[in-house]
Every structure is written in C-alpha cells, then in structure tokens.
Amino acid sequence: MLDHHKNTEDETLFKEVRSEEVQEIIGRIPSWITRNGIIVLFLIVTLLLISSVFLHYPDRVSAQINITSDNPPVKIVAYHSGRIKTLFVKQNDLVKKGSALFEMESTSNQDDLDKLKMELTHLLETNNINLLQQKNLNLGELQSEYLSLLNEVEEWNYFLTHENSQRTLSQMERELQDNILMVKQLRNNEDKIQSNLGTDKKIYDTDKELFEKGVLSEHEFLLSKKKYNEVLLKINDNQNKILEYNLRISELKKRMLDTELSKNNQLSESKRKVELSAKNLIQRIEEAKQISIYTSPISGKVNLFSIWKENQNIHAEQGIMLIVPEGQQILAKGTLAIQNSGKVKVGQKVLIELSSHPASEYGLVTGEISYISSAPMDSIYSFDIRLTHGLKTSNGNIIFQQPVLTGRGDILTENKSLFSRFIEKF
C-alpha cells in the first residue's frame, strides 16, 4: 500500500512539472541577465577595437644574407701530393706576409735551383753565354728543361763564332771590290777613247770630204771609215762591260745584304730562344720553390687543419691551413627578390639567423640596412647591412668569424596597428 501511494505522488509531481505554466517559468531568461550581457559584450568588443589601434607590429620581408670580411681568411692548399718535410709554424702563430709555413719534400736541390736562377738572371742582363755552362746540378723535374736550354745556348754560340757565313761575306766583299776596280778601269779607258774620238772624227770627216771630191781613193776612205767605226765599237763595248760589271756589283751587294740579314736573323732568333727559355726556366724555378716551400700570402694568425706534425702525408688540392688576418672589418650583404622590395628602406632593422648557428641556441645577429641597389639585376636587389653589435648575438654569444657565414634575414619594415591591418582587408 505504501509503495502504491508513493508512485501516485511521483506521477502527480511529474504532471505538474510538465504543465505549460511551469515550462514557461523555467524557459524565461531574466531580463537583467539579457541587459547586462549585452553591455558586457559591447564593452569587450570596444576594448578589443581600442587595443587594436594601439597594438602595432612590423611586416617582415625575408632575404638571403652573406657575412664576410674585407680581408677574408686565406686557405692554403697543397699543389701536389707528398710528405711534409719541415713545419715552420704552430697553431695560432702570428705570421707576416711571405713567411715560410711548411716545406714539402722535393726531388731537386734547393741550392742548385738558387744557383741556376742567379746564372740565368745574369745571362739575361749581360747576354754573356759563357756564364752558363753545363754543370752537375740536381734540378729534379726541371733537368730536361735545363738541358734543352743548354742546347739552345750552344746553337746561339755557334752563330756567334761560326766562320762560314763570315767567310762567305768576306769572299763576296773581295769579289765586289774586284768588280768595282774593273768598272773604274773601264771608265778610265773610256775617258781615253773619248778624248781621241774627236780627232778620229775630224780625220774621218776630212777623208769623207776628199773622197766625195775625188781626191781620196775609195780604198783609203774605207780604211779611214773602218778605223773610225772600230773606235765607236770599242766605246760601245766598253760601256756594255761597265753595265755588266755594275749589274754584278748590284747583285753582289744584294747577296751580301741577304746573307747579313740571314745571319742576323738566325742570331736574333737563336738569342730569342735562349732568352725565352731562360725566362721560362726562371719562372719554373720560382714555381718549384713555391711548390716545395709554402709561404703565407697575407699577415695573420695560423689555423692548422690537416697537418700538425712533420713527415705527414698530404694529397693534392688538400686544404692545409687557414691564415686569418687580424683587425678585419666585417661585411654583411643581402639579396632580395622584387616581391615586397618596395617596403624595404635604408635604416630598417634586420634580424639575421645564421644557418650554422641556430637562433634557438645562439640567438640572432642584428643590423640595419645601410645601402640598397637602385635597380635589380636578374630580378634581385642587393643591399648592405651594418651590424650594430658585430657578430654578438641577441643572447650575448660571440660568433667566430669564418670565411663566409650564410643565413636568412628578416627585414622589419612598416610598423602597422592591428586595426589598420583589419581595415586594409576591406
């Protein structure tokens, strides 16, 4: 009975809750909540709008960055494979330009190379071929070039001292003088004949006149005429001989000139070959010295990489060490695509993240743009960056200067409010 009574009460209560009056009371939102909620929402939106006006942040334009120096470190590379004979420097040594760094083993004797270089230099200055005589020199791979030079020197000396061409010239000179003498004699003979020609002409003219008058016989006239013609023929023959000897003289002079030119040309060509070979050999000696003894091209600090002791083997094109100059000025340059390049201006800040030094660990290198190219090349703008704190990062780390440091830079351009960016969307 009790359970039945309880069930009846529950059913009655459920019907009361489901009634329309109760449902209307439960579903109605109090007016104060609606009124205050609208006010709160309005205040929040207003606050957000006001905040967006005062909240600014810059645009970022990405660029590729390269950091070098005005006097970058120099890499010393081996010219050929071999073994280190002598190491003249240690790690972090300060060296001057031209200082010896290390010496490679060589097949040639350095003293012999220096001696030969001095003789070749003196040869070029004095043209004294007697200074260069074959000696027992240990020149290594330059031995064949040295022997070739000696052969050319011998050829030059042959043209200087050989008598064949000189004997030929002397013989032609004697022949020339003989012909000149003959011409002189012929001219003297012609002068004598010419001096008697007038008398012979008068005799002939007189005999001709007497013959025409019948005083002189024909036989006597013909004898007179023959004698006069013989004189004329002798003069003509003498002139022909003079012409012939003059032709011989001209030919001899031409042959002598050709012989002299040929001799001089051979001598000059031989001398030129010796000088050229001597200069080439001096250059090869210098190259051999550079190959065996490596010197520093600049002043700076030694950073050893591949070698650290003597008798160590190295191979050709192997990097041996770096010479890092002191007091170098850091140069930072960037490249920028045309897109968004109009936002970039001189004086804007640049945040640089180096590829070799993650920003999360080392921080960012900061700088500002000091120059922008006036026009693009291959659709790329170039610009210079002045590093405000050098290679000190935002985390306080100091980045060691390397030949080239690369990375990505964010250029902080126009600083706009959140509100203006929202308005630009519409």
CATH (domain of 418):
2.40.30.170
**135 in the same domain as 43:** no
Q: Are 401 and 330 in contact (CB under 8 A)?
A: yes
pLDDT digits (tens, 9 = 90+) for 1-39: 445 444 555 555 445 545 555 555 555 556 666 666 677
pLDDT tens for 284-338 read 777 666 567 788 888 888 988 878 788 888 887 888 888 888 766 788 999 998 8
CA 88 to CA 310: how far, in whole Å?
A: 9
Nearest CA to 368 out of 383, 380, 357 is that of 383
72 Cα distance to chain centroid = 18
- At 288 the three-state DSSP class reads helix
Domain count, the chain: 4
Give the CATH number of the domain where residue 181 resides.
Answer: 1.10.287
Same domain, 63 and 117: no
Whether residue 269 sits in one domain with residue 131 = yes
CA pair distance 392, 394, nearest whole angstrom: 7
The reply to whether 254 and 207 lie within a common domain is: yes
**Given this model, what pLDDT does residue 286 score?**
72
Tokens found for residue 44: 């929040």
136 in helix, strand or coil? coil
* Residues of the domain holding 26: 17-54
Mean confidence (pLDDT) of the chain: 76
Do 133 and 274 belong together in one domain? yes
Q: Are residues 409 and 301 in the same domain?
A: no
Predicted confidence band of residue 408 (pLDDT cuts 50, 70, 90): very high
Tell whether 2 is covered by a domain.
Answer: no
Q: What is the pTM of this model?
A: 0.42
At 394, list the tokens: 């935002």
Residue 8 lies in a domain: no
- Of 332, 338, 339, 349, the C-alpha closest to 383 is 332
Q: Which tens digit of pLDDT belongs to each residue from 207-251?
A: 777 777 777 777 777 777 777 777 777 778 877 887 888 888 888
Q: Report pLDDT digits (tens) over 152-186.
A: 777 767 666 665 566 676 777 888 888 888 878 77
Higher-confidence residue of 374 and 149: namely 374
Which CATH number belongs to the domain containing residue 78 in this structure?
2.40.50.100
Long-range pairs, 200-204, Cβ under 8 A, ≥24: 200/227, 200/228, 200/231, 201/228, 203/228, 204/228
Three-point CA angle 338, 339, 340, nearest 5°: 110
Q: Are residues 407 and 349 in the same domain?
A: yes
Q: Name every residue whose Cβ is closer than 8 Å to that of residue 92 and which is 6 or more positions away in sequence.
A: 301, 302, 303
What angle, rounded to 10 degrees, do the helices at 164-213 and 218-292 form?
160
